[in-house]
Chain A
Amino acid sequence: MAWLVRRIAASIAIVFAVVTITFFLIRLAHGKPFIPGGDQAVDPAVIAVLEEQYGADKPSHIQYIAFLRQLTRGNLGQSFALQRPVADALAEAIPNTLILTGAALLLDFLLGLGLGVYQALRVNRLPDVVLGNTTLFIYSFPTFWLGLILLLVFGEWLHWFPIGGKTDPVLCPAVDSFRCTLDLMHHLVLPALTLGVVGAAGTARFQRAAMLEVARQDFIRTARAKGAPERRVVLRHQLRNALLTFITRFGLAFPFLLTGAVLTETIFAWPGMGRIATEAILRRDYPVVTAVALVASAMVVAGNLVADLLLAAADPRLRSASADVT
């Protein structure tokens, strides 16, 4: 228990550090908020008023203290560019990102695990070699490029799937929620494929290696020697142990998915956190940038923590040892 408390404390400290770094880094960027891009000129007096209104005219450290004070009350501040509270904008975007990354993760793990285990059972035979080269190739794709190609083939040429957005803006508010959900799923296919397929290729390679690593160990030989049927050896002994390394990968998948989501959301006009973040950074919308850093780093840290907990729960060998680690 003490271990868990310490881990949570460390996680909070990490998130705090990330938020602090972000807070000051974005304020060091050249260019100021409230100045629209392009050739539109804005009266400096107007900007000065706006800056004062939002408190952006004060020195950074004063702003930081004010920010922390608001944060303790659960207030993330007012967006400069969106004319609404940051929390509202994020509350709208985060579920969208979670839907996308959730679907991608599911695809990643189901497909990746299946392929990896299948390959390990046919190791060095034709299916393994073919799949091995295919996954290596796909794993090397830039995600956003795969997104564009999928968009071209399945969106523009075959017209199987819509080319962007979360739901059809005309259809959806008009019809019932069931049809809306179907429409959402329809829109979800291509972005989730983009993110999930590349991840699945990585997972498959990882899982194959983990299975083979376990296959070499003594307890597998023992299981075979005592006459356990092959099915049981593979499922109970080999797969179960190989899944332990897989749990670690689950925790590490979060940052990858977040990064991938930024690009994928941009391509498919998916109204998620990644798009808000990119916009906010480019427009120097300080409060939104800081809030996104908070949410994103919390997700990464929480992912690692959950993976560690799952690992401790799944592997009895770690339960006593985990008390000493960290």
Chain B
Amino acid sequence: MTLPEWMALAAALLITRWIMAALRRRYGRFFRHPTAGWATALLVFLSVLAVAAPLVAPFPYWLQIDIVRLKNHPPSWTYLLGTDLYSRDVWSRLIYGARISLAIGALGMLVALTVGTVVGAVAGYYRRWVDAVLMRGVDIGLALPRIFILLMAIALWERLPIGVLVLVIGLTSWFGTSRLVRAEVLSLRERDFVSAARAVGAGPARVIFAHVLPNAAAPIIVSAALGVGNVLLLEAGLSFLGIGLPPPQPSWGNMIADGQHTLLHAPWTTLFPGLAIALVVMALNSVADALRDALDPREEST
């Protein structure tokens, strides 16, 4: 494994640990939220479907079942969500598409979260010129018309590898997170336990990662849940403009994009992938909401 892969793995483990710890401590409060339980169940269900795609999908995603007779077939018992222009089963493609879309969403968010957290923490911890330089960079990042920058960054490659797509999306999505983390770190670094850690000789890295950041976990986790949804929507938008994975490979975004040409004759090819995106993003927003309530020690209820 290469260094970035190790770092991604370490970050994933760390974040999972935080979430687990937070859930264990507060799961009661988390599930008090009216829709959080359903949302979590939906996300788990879709993740299982995505992972087990070859087992649960009735047809392979590329299979043109019968291009003459089964083209644009409306939903039926055999073809649950109908078939598309090439007589491919929409339900199967949706399941395979979940793999790509959810993976891009989760990994893109992870990149954004890691970069945003590190930049925000460093800026907030060192303050002075480090803070000034980093935050002016963030100001520029927030003023970049993101969809144009993505289109341009993606134009750097002739054939776009999926890893690059994830990286590019992640690297243009961290600006908001870094502001959030910086604000949190700025207030935490003045606390007694941080001075205590410094007094016993802990280095900056240890103070930041072992003492400051764990206490800023709540807003970071909430923004992570929202981040997945945002990346998902962004990926869909890019696919819609024709930038994304090569043809037979389905993602929810490019399914919508392909469907628009047969919108009138086969609306189901457009309708269902969009609904899938909306449901996942909604579930993620619910989870973020519930996490915010559960992790916020300040207030009891809203």
In residues 207-221 of chain A, which contact B (Cβ within 8 Å)?
209, 212
Residues of B within 8 A of A151 (CB): 263
Check A263 for interface membership: any CB of B closer than 8 A: yes
A140 within 8 A of B: yes
C-alpha spacing A144/B259, complex, angstroms: 12
* Known A-B contacts A18-B140, A259-B146; A140 and B274 likewise in contact (beta carbons under 8 Å): no
When the two chains form their complex, are residues B158 and A30 in contact, meaning their CB atoms are under 8 A apart? yes
Contact A281 B151 (CB under 8 A): yes
Q: How far is the CA of A140 from the CA of B277 in the complex (A)?
A: 8
Among residues of A, the one whose C-beta sits closest to the C-beta of B253 is A142
Beyond A14-B139, A14-B140, whether A281 also contacts B145 by CB under 8 A is no
- A141 and B142 form a contact (CB under 8 A): no
Q: Which residues of A contact B233 (CB under 8 A)?
A: 142
Contacts of B149 in A (CB 8 A): 21-22, 25
Q: Give the interface residue-count category, chain B.
A: 35 or more
Q: A150-166 vs B: 1/0 string, CB under 8 Å?
A: 01100010000000000
Q: Which residue of A lies closest to B153 (CB)?
A: A25
CB neighbours of B158 from chain A (8 A)? 30-31
Q: For residue B267, which residues in chain A have a CB less than 8 angstroms away from its CB? A: 152
Judging by beta carbons under 8 Å apart, are B270 and A148 in contact?
A: yes
Report whether B277 and A142 are in contact in the complex, using a CB–CB cutoff of 8 Å.
yes
Residue contact B263 to A148, C-beta cutoff 8 Å: yes
Known pairs A137-B278, A142-B233. 5 more at Cβ < 8 A? A140-B229, A140-B281, A148-B263, A259-B237, A297-B145
Which of A21, A140, A152, A282 sits near B144, CB closer than 8 Å?
A21
Q: Which of A29, A277, A289, A292 has the most CB of B within 10 A?
A: A29
Which partner residue on chain A sits nearest B233 by CB separation? Answer: A142
Q: Which partner residue on chain B sits nearest A129 by CB separation? A: B34
Instruction: Please determine whether B263 and A145 come into contact, CB atoms closer than 8 angstroms.
Output: no
> With A142-B233, A145-B277 in contact, is A18–B156 under 8 Å at CB?
no
Residue of A nearest to B286 (CB): A136
Asked whether any CB of chain A lies closer than 8 Å to the CB of B56, the reply is no
**Per-position 1/0 for A14-36, Cβ under 8 A of B:** 11011001100110111100000
Main secondary structure on chain A at its contact with chain B? helix
Given known contacts A30-B158, A142-B256, A142-B274, is B152 in contact with A22 (CB within 8 Å)?
A: yes
Per-residue interface assignment for chain B, residues 75 to 104, with 1 indicating a CB less than 8 Å from any chain A CB and 0 otherwise: 000000000000000000000000000000
CB proximity of A255 to chain B, nearest CB, Å: 7
Chain A's nearest CB lies how many Å from the CB of B236? 5
| Interface size classification for chain A | 35 or more
CB-contact partner of A145 in B34, B147, B274, under 8 A: B274
Give CA–CA (A22, B146) in the complex, Å. Answer: 11
Q: Are A136 and B274 in contact (CB under 8 A)?
A: no
Can you give 11 A-B contacts (C-beta < 8 A)? A14-B140, A15-B143, A29-B155, A129-B34, A141-B274, A143-B237, A145-B270, A259-B237, A278-B241, A292-B145, A300-B142
Give every chain A residue within 8 A of B271 (Cβ-Cβ).
Answer: 149
**Bound state CA distance, A296 and B237, in angstroms?**
18
Q: Bound complex: CA of A81 vs CA of B180, how far in Å?
A: 42
A1 to B279, CA, bound (A): 48
Which residues from A are CB-within-8-Å of B153? 25
**Distance (Å) between the CB of B283 and the closest chain A CB?**
8
List A residues at the B interface (Cβ < 8 Å): 10, 13-15, 17-18, 21-22, 25-26, 28-31, 129, 133, 136-137, 139-146, 148-149, 151-152, 156, 209, 212, 255, 258-259, 262-263, 266-267, 277-278, 281-282, 284, 289, 292-293, 296-297, 300-301
Q: How far is the CA of A17 from the CA of B253 in the complex (A)?
A: 31
Query: Contact between A289 and B35 (Cβ–Cβ < 8 Å)?
Result: no
**Shortest 7 CB-CB distances between A and B: which pairs?**
A145-B274, A29-B155, A140-B281, A296-B145, A140-B282, A140-B278, A17-B140
B45 contacts the other chain (Cβ, under 8 Å)? Answer: no
Please name all residues of chain B whose beta carbon is closer than 8 Å to the beta carbon of A26 when the two chains form the complex. 152, 155
Per the bound structure, the CA–CA distance linking A296 and B270 in Å amounts to 30
Q: Does A31 contact B155, Cβ atoms closer than 8 Å?
A: yes
Q: Does B264 contact A (CB under 8 A)?
A: yes
Q: Which of B135-193 contact A (CB under 8 A)?
A: 136, 139-140, 142-149, 151-153, 155-158
Chain B positions within 8 Å of A14 at CB level: 139-140, 143
Residue of B nearest to A274 (CB): B147
Q: Indicate if the CB atoms of A266 and B237 lie closer than 8 Å.
A: no
Q: Which residues of B contact A28 (CB under 8 A)?
A: 156
Please determine whether B286 and A296 come into contact, CB atoms closer than 8 angstroms: no
Contacts of A22 in B (CB 8 A): 148-149, 152
B260 at the interface (CB under 8 A from A): yes
Q: Which residues, 172 to 223 on B, are CB-close (under 8 Å) to A?
A: none
Contact string against A for B residues 247-273, beta-carbon threshold 8 Å, 1 for contact and 0 otherwise = 000000100100110011001001101
A297 to B149, CA, bound (A): 11
Tell me if B240 is interfacial: C-beta within 8 Å of chain A.
yes
Tell me whether A148 and B142 are in contact in the complex, defined as CB-CB below 8 angstroms, given that A22-B152, A136-B285, A278-B241 are known contacts.
Answer: no
Contact A144 B142, beta carbon cutoff 8 Å: no
Q: With both chains docked as a complex, state the minimum distance between the C-beta of A188 and any C-beta of chain B, in angstroms.
A: 21
Partner pick for A297 among B144, B151, B260, B277, CB 8 A cutoff: B144
A252: nearest chain-B partner, CB-CB: B142
Bound CA span A278–B23, Å: 43
Q: Which residues of the other chain, B, contact A144 by a CB distance below 8 angstroms?
A: 236-237, 240, 256
Kindly report which residue of chain B lies nearest to residue A284, judged by CB atoms: B155
Are A18 and B144 in contact, CB atoms less than 8 angstroms apart? Answer: yes
Q: Are B148 and A289 in contact (CB under 8 A)?
A: yes
